[in-house]
Amino acid sequence: MLDLKNISLQFDAKLDAIKSYDAERSELAQEYRKELERIRVIDLSLNGKLQPYSGAKLLEPGKLIHPFHFNWQNRHEALEWVDSVLSGVAVGAVDGSQIYSDKNYEIPLAVIQTSRIFNRHTSDCNYSQETEAAIITPDEFERASVYSFGSEYIDARRFAAECDSIVRLMKQHEKLYVLLDGALILSHINMLNRNIRSIYTDAVGGLLEASEKTENPVIGFIDTTMPRDITLMMHYLLGLKKSKLSDTHLFSNLLWGERTASFLCDRDDRRGEDSRSVLDYYGKLRDGVAFFYMRVSNALPARVEFPAWALEKGLVDKLADIIRAECVIRGNYPDILIRAHDAALIRMNEHALFYGMLDNFCKTHGIKINKSAKHFHKIMNSK
């Protein structure tokens, strides 16, 4: 049980440190926003001042902040606008869930489940939902040379399954916009071993290639994120000192529906100058992922990542409107992503059902499975 009394005392003791961090962040945000005035109209020739690994490059000429001109008076007006945006438009979404292998059981087995949603927004209810589950067996852990009871390999396999599911949607439908609940720029994989990292890079590479081939944009929606791509670009472009200010705090003054211009990602997540950034593992697609920030809730702006070719095809305003419309339906988060999440989610009681099925399977087939004493006590104490 969490020692709440001790935690309360710790909060009081560390109040100054927490307040100091918040004050410093606020001051930096004001300073950087003031400097943003120097690029409030995007001039692509400024990219000549940027060196490799500058965080971001200017991509979309015009205004830095793209306003959202609608000011609905009521929910009915908002939904009428949603209909005008989504009517006849094909939108898909994919999400996944997992059961990690449990050390309390002797045999390492894991489950990954993905769900994909398709909605063409037509009067004939052209809507579908498909869910798929797969078991990861001990031989698969062994072939990958990974720790059987860790989460990293299973997370990678889940991401690969999500990407595969999106690719299949793209091959089935034309003029499709597909939302992925998460990033296309996978900085976290830089700290993983090569075997696991290659699962991610192969998956995201195949996804981006399929997106370009079918001309169906894949859209990575990241609700909570703290990258410093644009603030690093400002360091090089405007001569500002480097800071730990995140892009989302830089644009926290956006109004609902407003978005930034699109930028090309050139993230510097190297672990030392002699190492590689995650984008270096993307090969020919290294300079192919763009992004913008947009406020669609009362929280910090969301980050939207997409293939850079979508800007060349004139699709960015459309995908921005699709995200706005999806967020109006449910409020604060794209409705179709919530649907995909709910369909894919493996709930805690279902974890217990899975291990009950495993017990019965092993008994039926004469497979001896040893369980830890700690697990036995957990079960007894839960009764």
pLDDT in tens, 310-368: 999 999 999 999 999 999 998 889 999 999 999 999 998 898 898 888 888 888 998 88
DSSP state of 256: T
Distance CA 236, CA 61 (A): 19
Q: Where is pLDDT greater, at 12 or 266?
A: 266
Query: Per residue in 148-165, pLDDT tens?
Result: 888 999 999 999 999 999
Indicate if the alpha-carbon torsion angle 359, 361, 363, 366 is positive or negative.
negative
Q: What angle do CA 376, 109, 205 make, to 5 degrees?
A: 145
Looking at the chain, the whole-number percentage of residues with pLDDT higher than 90 is 68
Out of 25-39, 103-117, 287-301, 344-358, pick the least confident: 25-39
pLDDT value at position 8? 85
Tokens of 333: 């988060």
Out of 168-177, 277-286, 299-308, 370-379, pick the least confident: 370-379
Indicate if the alpha-carbon torsion angle 245, 189, 312, 259 is positive or negative.
negative
Q: What angle do CA 109, 115, 121 make, to 5 degrees?
A: 180
pLDDT value at position 381? 52
Tokens of 320: 């921005």
pLDDT value at position 372? 60
Domain boundaries, the chain: 31-346
**Confidence class for position 23, pLDDT limits 50, 70, 90:** low
Q: Which amino acid is at 151?
A: S
In angstroms, how far is CA 349 from the centroid of its own chain?
Answer: 26
pLDDT value at position 320? 97
Q: Where is pLDDT greater, at 11 or 61?
A: 61
**Confidence class for position 376, pLDDT limits 50, 70, 90:** very low
**Confidence class for position 375, pLDDT limits 50, 70, 90:** low
- Parallel, antiparallel or unpaired: strands 127-136 and 41-42: unpaired
Q: Where is pLDDT greater, at 275 or 172?
A: 172
Out of 105-114, 146-155, 368-377, pick the least confident: 368-377
- Residue that has been written with the tokens 């037509």 in this structure: 122
Mean pLDDT of 107-114: 93
**Confidence class for position 380, pLDDT limits 50, 70, 90:** very low
Q: Where is pLDDT greater, at 244 or 315?
A: 315
Mean pLDDT of 208-237: 94
Residue 377 has pLDDT above 60, yes or no: no
In angstroms, how far is CA 221 from the centroid of its own chain?
Answer: 5
